[in-house]
Amino acid sequence: MPAFWWSVIGGWLGLAVGSFIALVTARWPQGQVITGRSRCDHCGVRLGALELVPLLSFLALRGRCRHCRQAISGRHWQVELAAAAVGAALLWRYPAPEGLLFALAGWWLLALLILDTEHQWLPDLLTLPFIPFALLLPGLALVQRLWGAGLGFAALWLVGFAYRRLRGRDGLGGGDPKLLAGLGALLGPWQLPLLITGAA
């Protein structure tokens, strides 16, 4: 199948996954249940199936709840579009069934990006499983992925340790070394300097 159609599949899947990411990243930090039917943020009415179609429902309802007419947060469609872009780009780059694994990695990292940006929180339930997932992806040799994971974790752990010893307080969250371990496993050790420099 041509790369274009893989990209279209990735975009449509991304819209659906993005809807779930938007819900999880909004509810989880508040201690709310992440399962169950979606509700309006304002009036609390349960939303029907036709009100939950990613992006299209927002456009059809003109950005307002059908029941209370309050504005629907733009955060929902923004996350959906971001996830669609991630899926489309990665399945364009990897136009094959295994490309879905790379798209899953991209969506996983998108959820972490949102949680870190909005709440400065990188939960172990997302960072730790990402490491073995990245280790098992096709492409790089396992030894390169292992070196990337080990060096990624060590680099930020040592920075955090040194800061704590010198300043007597934490200067780096515990989730950052785990996330960089996962990114090192994903990209390999040679990409780490570029990644750290770009992040800084």
Q: Cα separation of 79 and 67, whole Å?
A: 23
DSSP helix/strand/coil, 71: strand
Percent of the chain with pLDDT over 90: 62
Instruction: Name the token pair of 177.
Output: 């070394």
Q: Cα separation of 85 and 187, whole Å?
A: 20
- Amino acid, single-letter form, for residue 4: F
Asked whether the whole model's pTM tops 0.75, one would answer yes
Residue carrying structure tokens 């609390």: 44
List, for residues 132-174, the tens digit of each pLDDT value. 999 999 989 999 999 999 999 999 999 888 888 888 888 788 8
From the list 111, 129, 131, the residue with the least C-alpha distance to 121 is: 111
